[in-house]
Structure 1
């Protein structure tokens, strides 16, 4: 009897030890709702849409303790469309994230693979769309990537440990091309937290984004612009006091020799050539937690655009207003309602940029105004 019991106890102890040293977690989000758009090429559109407040996804993440405060980490995350079961991010199996790396309590984390850039990591969380509201609340054409329109491939990322309230990091994404800078990316950013105040800043540079299929930004998969260069910098702050949170963010996105937008297609002037676009986004947002189960949030974004062509500079102006209410049915399931209005004014460019388009709408408006309303159910597991 003892000969049988002792080996069994030893095996149980070894299994317990192994479980304590490593773990793998399966998780996901399912976000599905009904959208109404008042003007898509002059018509009303009613549709079911997946993944707006959060992209629908499932993933695996894990750690293994290597001793001495060092751990191996990995994450594989798949985006999908709940309506038809198709893969997201241009049909990539793990298009949201796919990386492996090492993390140390003392020295920080280094990861390798397809990942988020520093704008998404540090600046996005002080915007409404990058924090609690999601897709519909994006800045025009998500020109600054605060809503994570694109991830970056072939990426080495460093994330520091916390130093008091300070954390910082950066990414470098290889072009994987004989032209070293052809579709590469690099970024840096940081946040400082003290009490209820969060300060954030980030910078991103992408050379020839979406120019190649194997580079930093995937062409035809997830992109905000196909261009010669994309440069984004910005800063923001949020402050939480009691049940309320208010935030402000400024971003400046420069697009050199843009060819097209991943949202609205070709950007071709009626005459002359387009040399560059610059989007300056000024956002204020706020959220109030009325009860532990219910909050209401709002945002306003003013966007000034510099449209630089051989014919001179023009300045389209975009104004976007959003309102959202969210109610928890349980710890994992909630229902939410969102509405966004956009108005386009200022100079007319003779391109698709002259008409309103809210990211997430079925298509561009026939004029300078557009409204999208969404009612949705979200479940997390």
Structure 2
């Protein structure tokens, strides 16, 4: 009897050991399901009514966790997959965790180091206080997300460092490896950003440089660690050898009102094999605001003006005016109804994907990247529901 009791005690002790270890770590499953009915006044010349996923927030499912290693050191990871809630399809074919997949170490005194597929500091700092978090990328991103301040750019094979917050300021840097033997610069990426929060003010400035990889004359199927956005706005510059973006944003919040502004420059540079010969810059200036009308109802509005420079045979450069509105009614912290409206007016000329000169086409936010208008204007209206878990 004593022998059996001893065996039982030993078994319970061994079983309890991993439970004690697990008590020092945690794993969270989280996600968003977001669907809306959409009206577009012109998609390649015809109006359309359809369903679209990921408008107020991207539809996604993710896993994140951490473990306390002692001495203020912590290990953590994040895996995140985007999907289309209206069809169930993955956002990126053959890529399970297309949004994020990284592991890292952090401490309050030394900062955080992460490796894997991740967003650049440029987006994480400047995009976080820009128009896309207020008006959503679907209708509030700058035309075609040409400056990548929405979620268009993620860097694979990347190592990133973020400093501790000191006096309200924090800096971050990232390097994405192109992993091309004999040419480490081919397909690589780097980014740096600074943010500063003081009282009712939020400031951020950032930079990122992306190089095209091998295997294709355009970015989509090349070996680049990060790809540039692709829309009618920059279709003629998809053969660029490199792209770089610089942006700054600021916010001021007083009681129920928030006021914000931002400015960005996105430059695309040609190389051998490019279908254009002179670098082009897209500059964007914008202002946005939110007002908490009631605990449940939030109103938002924003305006941006994007313009390109002349060159490559273009005498009247492309320009885009965009107005976006948003109304969100939150039933709870996790469930909300939303209504989005946006209008864009394009002018001037730009390059088509084959390098020919065409009239600039309107493409609202980044929801119409593959369905631009056939003319100079486009209106998009959405009504949807978002639930997070």
TM-score w.r.t. structure 2 length? 0.87
Alignment of 1:234-249 (within 5 A): 234-249=247-262
Q: Hey, what does 2:246 align to over in structure 1?
A: 233
How far does residue 18 in structure 1 lie from its aligned partner after superposition?
Answer: 2.4
2:57 aligned with 1:54: yes
Between the aligned partners of 1:8 and 1:292, the Cα distance in structure 2 is 54
Give aligned pairs, total: 370
Between the aligned partners of 1:123 and 1:257, the Cα distance in structure 2 is 26
How far does residue 16 in structure 1 lie from its aligned partner after superposition?
Answer: 5.7
2:379 aligned with 1:379: no
**Secondary structure of 1:161's aligned partner:** coil
Alignment of 1:1-381 (within 5 A): 3=5, 14=17, 17-131=20-134, 133-178=136-181, 179-208=183-212, 210=219, 213-218=222-227, 225-257=238-270, 273-309=276-312, 311=313, 314-347=316-349, 351=357, 354-358=360-364, 359-361=366-368, 363-381=371-389
Aligned residues of 1:327 and 1:336 also touching (Cα < 8 A): yes
TM-score w.r.t. structure 1 length? 0.89
Q: Hey, what does 1:263 align to over in structure 2?
A: none
Aligned residues of 2:344 and 2:363 also touching (Cα < 8 A): yes
Shift of the 202–87 alpha-carbon distance from structure 1 to 2, 3 Å rule, reads same
How far does residue 135 in structure 1 lie from its aligned partner after superposition?
Answer: 2.3
Aligned residues of 1:130 and 1:146 also touching (Cα < 8 A): no
Q: Which runs of 5+ in 2 are unaligned?
A: 214-218
How far does residue 66 in structure 1 lie from its aligned partner after superposition?
Answer: 1.0
How far does residue 331 in structure 1 lie from its aligned partner after superposition?
Answer: 2.1
Q: Hey, what does 2:216 align to over in structure 1?
A: none
Between the aligned partners of 2:10 and 2:83, the Cα distance in structure 1 is 46
Q: CA RMSD in A?
A: 2.8
**Secondary structure of 1:365's aligned partner:** coil
How far does residue 104 in structure 1 lie from its aligned partner after superposition?
Answer: 1.1
Aligned residues of 2:27 and 2:63 also touching (Cα < 8 A): yes
Comparing 1-10 with 228-237, which one deviates more in the overlay?
1-10
Shift of the 352–375 alpha-carbon distance from structure 1 to 2, 3 Å rule, reads farther
Between the aligned partners of 1:221 and 1:203, the Cα distance in structure 2 is 19
Per residue, is there more strand in 1 or in 2?
1
